[in-house]
Amino acid sequence: MAYVSIPSRRRRSIPLPTCPPCKPPTPWPLLLLISSYLFGCGGSDDENTPEPTGCAAETRADSYAPNLKKGGQSHSLVLLESQPAPPAKGDNTWTVQLLDPSGAPLDGATLKATPFMPDHGHGTPMTAVTTPQSAEGRYEIKPIHLGMAGYWEIEVTIETPATTDSVKFGFCIDG
């Protein structure tokens, strides 16, 4: 046992505690970390295939192609083209064709496009303007402003003298 002297009126020694032959502590946290890294849990059987992220993992989005057709309750809207194509971050210009319930082109309607990010709960401060093109139910909508990366829903409200309808397109915008 070891002793230490403490100055006082009387000199005396106090024994210092000692441990049985001291062993270094077992590195359990380190062993758990290494084993979880080596053996892992869950994941894919094919370790060479990474899990999809971002837009690659988005299942709600429409796959853009010219002439993408979406139906409302009574009308259909065909996205003839998007500039840029596919829709991208920033200002987009769409050319659409409005079809009546029988599938015939419909002129004279009022269309309003409203971009919205449901995951973030916000839209865009810019208002898209719809301009009728020549006949055949064609309209140009611009700017459809998609201000950030992520999943966007663009709802196009259709007003005719007889009805109001809406059609929703969904696109995931890469960053």
Query: pLDDT tens digit string along 10-63?
Result: 656 666 566 556 566 666 666 655 655 555 555 555 567 777 778 999 999 999
Choose among 161, 155, 175, 162: nearest CA to 72. Answer: 155
Which residue ranges form the domains of the chain, and what is each CATH number? 57-173 (2.60.40.3340)
Residue bearing the bigger pLDDT, 10 or 158:
158
Phi, psi of 95 (to 5 degrees): -110, 120
Tokens found for residue 67: 């002439």
Tokens found for residue 8: 């006082």
Tokens found for residue 36: 């979880």
Tokens found for residue 99: 């079809």
pTM, two decimal places: 0.71
86-110 burial code (b ≥16 CB/10 A, e <16): bbbbeebebbbbbbbeeeeebeebe
What pLDDT was estimated at residue 10?
60
Summary mean pLDDT of the chain: 86
Where do we find the tokens 């000199």? Answer: 11
Cβ-based burial of 4 (10 A; exposed 0-12, middle 13-18, buried ≥19): exposed
Kindly give the residue spans of alpha helices, DSSP state H, lying in 28-156.
28-39
